[in-house]
């Protein structure tokens, strides 16, 4: 159970380069290392750096500390104790979160929810080239765990609320901010967005929500080739494979080995390929991206959009890891363990398989296909007992998408805004049952070669971070003024 601790005060607390064609105006909006930051950009960097350098992993991190730091900044900007709610799980007080409700002047306008998570996946210092919990400014990039997922978004949302409030802005539409923990999972973590949906839905209830999950694709010059708006996501399902054996002394090996048996099963998972599935969104994505990508990828995308049965086109498009994950349900081994002694034959081995299921594909059929591919009754197959609910895809509401497109033309001339399905799962899954359409906000873009999130040496383009921040500030302000 989550609880809040209130002080007597009533405050809820808890213990780039730009391409020449973009022009001088955009260069000023995307500072290179040799340029001076605007005052508001320097203030944002201070907030972002503090957030990134606060370890918020499930194992040893502290989301509660990160939320406390942000609460102090929001309070300094003028948000009152009545507008701020802090919460933390009693059984894991490190995994707290923060909610802000800024009431608008027009009750007829449904609120806008800004949702982001503060926690990050684990990062081992010995694996990284740089300290994962120090923000490293290098070669036009910021390196750190969470530099993209999802502290860039959390920092931009908090910074936007601070800038608007400190600047004297008066919203017509109510703005809600929810910064939560537990999105990435991990031992002892409780998903804060899920808890709010169950226990404090009033802090989430909104006409629509903006969340992570809408990254664009980086062009060769480091700018955006496309902007993405997420209007759907894959479902995550996790399975465990286990093998058992009587074992014995390692000096007398036999082929009947728990690790070998598990290895055979894992190789079959590697070779399993699910059939192509195009939705209305992915067909539109292929048709739009096909017009801007060079050969052979661009023409192949156009052919596949026109004819899903074109196997040659599918092979070309699927050769890109990002595109492949949008077109197919996928399953991959993510963790493995086995054996109990260096001089003993293994008696037990276990692997974790993470599947991402496309909208329209059956979770049950995905599990069945995985078992058929392994084809070994000696491999124990278990589904995780607790999983996210399936996300509800939002409609391409012109009142939501229109301001995104209009401001994209202002901030990123000539760059298309492309609706997309996210290969990953987000906390949007908890908003669907509340009837809240949730969109992955555009504005940031990623390097398709490294992707970056959850991997070694996670990084974000400085150009993307600062230009995306300016775009999202204008977008949120536009909605708060009454658009939609």
pTM of the predicted structure, to 2 decimals: 0.88
Question: What architecture is domain 238-383?
Answer: 2-Layer Sandwich (3.30)
Percent of the chain with pLDDT over 90: 82
Within a 13 Å sphere around the CA of 402, how many CA atoms are in the beta-carbon half? 8
Percentage above 70 pLDDT, the chain? 91
Task: Tell me the per-residue pLDDT of 68-90, one tens digit each, with 9 for 90 and over.
Answer: 999 999 999 999 999 999 999 88
Check whether 27 has a pLDDT greater than 90.
Answer: no
The angle subtended at Cα 377 by Cα 376 and Cα 379, nearest 5°, is 75
Q: How far is residue 98's CA from residue 75's CA, in Å, rounded to a whole number?
A: 12
Angle between helices 151-166 and 63-77 (to 10 degrees): 20
CATH of 2-233+392-480, one of 3.40.640.10, 3.40.50.620, 3.40.630.10, 3.40.190.80: 3.40.630.10
Give the least confident one: 29-43, 275-289, 385-399: 29-43
pLDDT band at residue 389 under the 50/70/90 scheme = confident
Every domain of the chain and the residues it spans: 2-233+392-480, 238-383
pLDDT of amino acid 451:
54
């Amino acid at each position: 159970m989550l609880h809040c601790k209130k002080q007597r005060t009533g405050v809820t607390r808890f213990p780039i380069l730009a391409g020449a064609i973009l022009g001088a105006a955009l260069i000023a909006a995307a500072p290179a290392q040799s340029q001076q930051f605007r005052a508001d950009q320097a203030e944002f960097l201070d907030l972002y750096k503090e957030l990134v350098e606060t370890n918020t992993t499930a194992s040893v991190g502290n989301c509660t500390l990160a939320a406390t730091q942000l609460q102090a900044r929001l309070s300094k900007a003028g948000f009152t104790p009545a507008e701020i709610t802090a919460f933390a799980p009693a059984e894991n007080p490190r995994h707290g979160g923060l909610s802000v409700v800024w009431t608008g002047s027009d009750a007829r306008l449904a609120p806008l929810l800004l949702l982001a998570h503060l926690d990050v996946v684990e990062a081992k210092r010995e694996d990284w080239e740089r300290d994962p919990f120090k923000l490293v400014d290098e070669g036009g990039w910021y390196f750190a765990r969470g530099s993209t997922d999802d502290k860039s978004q959390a920092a931009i949302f908090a910074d936007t609320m601070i800038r608007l409030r400190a600047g004297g802005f008066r919203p017509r539409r109510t703005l809600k901010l929810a910064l939560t923990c537990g999105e990435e999972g991990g031992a002892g973590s409780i998903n804060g967005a899920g808890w709010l949906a169950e226990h404090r839905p009033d802090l989430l209830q909104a006409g629509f929500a903006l969340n992570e999950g809408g990254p664009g694709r980086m062009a060769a010059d480091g700018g955006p080739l496309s902007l993405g708006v997420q209007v759907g996501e894959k479902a995550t399902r996790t399975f465990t494979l286990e093998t058992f054996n009587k074992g014995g002394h390692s000096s007398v090996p036999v082929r009947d080995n728990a690790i070998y048996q598990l290895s055979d099963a894992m190789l079959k998972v590697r070779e399993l390929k699910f059939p192509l599935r195009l939705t209305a969104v992915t067909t539109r994505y292929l048709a739009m991206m096909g017009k801007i990508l060079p050969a052979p990828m661009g023409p192949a995308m156009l052919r596949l959009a026109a004819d899903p049965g074109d196997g040659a086109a599918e092979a070309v498009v699927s050769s890109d890891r990002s595109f492949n994950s949008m077109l197919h349900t996928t399953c991959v081994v993510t963790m493995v363990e086995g054996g109990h002694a260096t001089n003993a034959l293994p008696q037990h081995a276990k692997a974790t398989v993470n599947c991402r299921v496309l909208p329209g594909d059956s979770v049950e059929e995905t599990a069945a296909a995985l078992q058929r591919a392994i084809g070994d009754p000696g491999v124990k197959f278990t589904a995780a007992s607790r999983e996210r609910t399936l996300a509800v895809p939002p409609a391409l509401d012109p009142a939501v998408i229109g301001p995104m497109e209009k401001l994209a033309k202002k901030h990123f001339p000539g760059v298309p805004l492309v609706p997309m399905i996210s290969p990953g799962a987000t906390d949007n899954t908890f908003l669907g049952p509340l009837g809240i359409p949730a969109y992955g906000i555009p504005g940031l873009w990623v390097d398709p070669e490294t992707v970056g999130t959850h991997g070694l040496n996670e990084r974000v383009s400085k150009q993307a971070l600062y230009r995306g921040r300016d775009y999202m500030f204008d977008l949120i302000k536009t909605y708060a003024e009454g658009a939609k």
